[in-house]
């Protein structure tokens, strides 16, 4: 196992302990609103601080992009190519309500390409990991995307807009068509876990608009290392920049992308 992946796992488990302890006392939780429908808690901040401390102990010079703390530049020319991408609690709204669907997501990118990935579900003690070129794993067992080949038999994950309400009619039109042409769609509310579920075959595909890099970075590597495909709305690899992502098994990905592409105005693509 790559040393950086080991450190990321250590950081994720440390954050998971903080989150699990806090989940027992949700009534005492202090919650703030960053924007409408976008929340942050003291647990997000404490988990992120623990992650960053653990990562910096081992790799003090690497850059960091974290949901709550923002961007820390690399400290040296030697480390300038490396950046940790961190979501300390993906699914904060679920967490606040006691809905046990949330995760910690940590990725390491080199020159903008994700090379190490951890998604940890502290409720189920499920640890998803991947290293570029070395496969994807769930609790150290190799995982692959599902073998389903037909969109009509596919279970698709998605996430409804909670910030991009100007696009909600477009979103619902795509949702409606996919509701008619798939086995079903699910919207649990934590994109990093949704992507991990594509990687291990629980979903056959996933699509969402308006995500942040920390929502997608780790999960996207899990899928590609598990034999799946990931792209933006143009079928290209710019999803970390655009925030729009489509993923799936090799056979489900193409018809899923086609349906979404056909409904998108040019102004939304990217």
Is residue 76 a part of any domain in this protein? yes
Of 115, 142, 169, the residue that ends a domain is 142
Confidence class for position 139, pLDDT limits 50, 70, 90? very high
What CATH number is associated with residue 155? 3.40.190.80
Task: Specify the number of domains making up the chain.
Answer: 2
Distance between first and last Cα of the chain: 35
Mean of per-residue pLDDT scores for the chain? 92
Of 124, 142, 160, the residue that ends a domain is 142
* Same-domain pairing of 185 and 106: no
pTM of the model: 0.94
* Same-domain pairing of 182 and 108: no
Is residue 270 a part of any domain in this protein? no
Q: What is the extent of the structural domain holding 46?
A: 3-142
* Same-domain pairing of 32 and 129: yes
* Same-domain pairing of 123 and 157: no
Here the contacts of 31-39 (C-beta below 8 Å, separation 24 or greater) are 31/96, 35/163, 36/163, 37/93, 37/162, 37/163, 38/162, 38/163, 39/92, 39/93, 39/96
* Same-domain pairing of 156 and 99: no
What CATH number is associated with residue 41? 3.30.540.10
Q: What digits encode the pLDDT tens for the residues 234-253?
A: 899 999 999 999 999 999 99
Torsion angle (degrees, nearest 10) of CA 181, 185, 190, 191:
-10
Rg (CA), the chain: 18
User: Residue 259 corresponds to which tokens in the numbers above?
Assistant: 């349906």
Q: Edge-to-edge, what's the strand order for the sheet holding 245-248? A: 184-186, 155-158, 205-208, 245-248, 229-231
Say if residue 209's pLDDT is above 70: yes
């Amino acid at each position: 196992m790559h040393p950086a992946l080991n450190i990321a796992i250590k950081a994720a488990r440390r954050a998971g302990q903080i989150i699990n302890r806090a989940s027992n006392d949700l009534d005492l939780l202090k919650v703030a609103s960053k924007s409408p429908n976008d929340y942050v808690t003291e647990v997000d901040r404490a988990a992120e601080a623990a992650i960053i401390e653990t990562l910096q102990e081992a790799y003090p010079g690497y850059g960091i992009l974290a949901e709550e703390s923002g961007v820390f530049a690399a400290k040296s020319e030697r480390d300038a190519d490396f950046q940790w991408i961190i979501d300390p609690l993906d699914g904060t709204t679920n967490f606040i309500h006691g809905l046990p669907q949330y995760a910690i997501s940590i990725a390491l990118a080199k020159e903008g390409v994700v090379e190490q990935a951890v998604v940890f579900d502290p409720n189920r003690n499920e640890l998803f990991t991947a290293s570029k070129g070395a496969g994807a794993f769930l609790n150290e067992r190799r995982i692959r995307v599902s073998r389903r080949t037909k969109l009509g038999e596919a279970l698709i994950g998605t996430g409804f807009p909670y910030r991009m309400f100007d696009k909600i009619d477009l979103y619902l039109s795509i949702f409606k068509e996919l509701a008619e042409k798939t086995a079903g769609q699910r919207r649990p509310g934590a994109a990093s876990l949704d992507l991990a579920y594509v990687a291990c075959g629980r979903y056959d595909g996933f699509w969402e608009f308006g995500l942040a890099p920390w929502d997608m970075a780790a999960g996207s590597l899990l899928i590609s290392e598990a034999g799946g495909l990931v792209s933006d709305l143009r079928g290209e690899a710019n999803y970390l920049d655009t925030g729009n992502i489509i993923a799936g098994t090799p056979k489900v990905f193409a018809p899923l992308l086609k349906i979404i592409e056909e409904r998108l105005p040019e102004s939304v693509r990217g």
